Amino acid sequence: MKLLLELFLTFAKIGLFTFGGGYAMLPLIENICVGKKGWITHEEMAHITVIAESTPGPVAINCATYVGLKKKGLPGAVAATLGVILPSFVIILIISFFIDRFLEIKWVASAFRGIKIAVGILIIDASIRLMSKMDRKPLHAVVLAVSFAAVMLINIFALSVSTIVLMLLAALTGTVVYLIKRRAEKEASE
């Protein structure tokens, strides 16, 4: 029961003090779950992030669910997931009652502009951390560079191309390269 409460409170703190969604939460999740608590390893965090991005739902919720499941099974997954969801839900619920008047307050509007900048920095930080843990293989570098260039071109020219298409193309590229390598290894062993 103590671990369930700890999972809930840990992820509630992450959910309460992190603005900007799942990607902004990743550095905090890694700092607490890997660094301070030792619940998962850096490698597991990298794998969780990739899987969480590939599955439906917000990345932070998927990460919380995985950590909770690993530490305490289904009850742990529920506790961690509720912990990361409830603070945002309660805050948004309260704000929704006063949204019109809330945004008219100058210091609140200024705070939200500042938060946007901080969120961008947190997302850049999460990206740099993930890239630093990536295997240093030419294919990975090429896929990263081509994907980055494609996203930039899509945004610059306001094209209506979904980033999901880019993800699928990257996955297809990786799969084709894997199959080619496997076939070459099989032929070499024969």
The stretch 128-149 carries a mean pLDDT of 81
Amino acid identity of residue 34, one-letter, is V
Answering whether pTM is above 0.75, one says: no
Which residue pairs, CB below 8 angstroms and at least 24 apart, start in 172-175? Answer: 173/139, 173/143, 174/139, 174/143
pLDDT digits (tens, 9 = 90+) for 14-40: 888 766 667 778 888 889 999 999 999
Between 10 and 139, the more confident residue is 10
**What is the sign, positive or negative, of the torsion defined by CA atoms of 95, 97, 103, 107?**
negative
Higher pLDDT, 77 or 17: 77
Does position 88 have pLDDT exceeding 90, yes or no? no
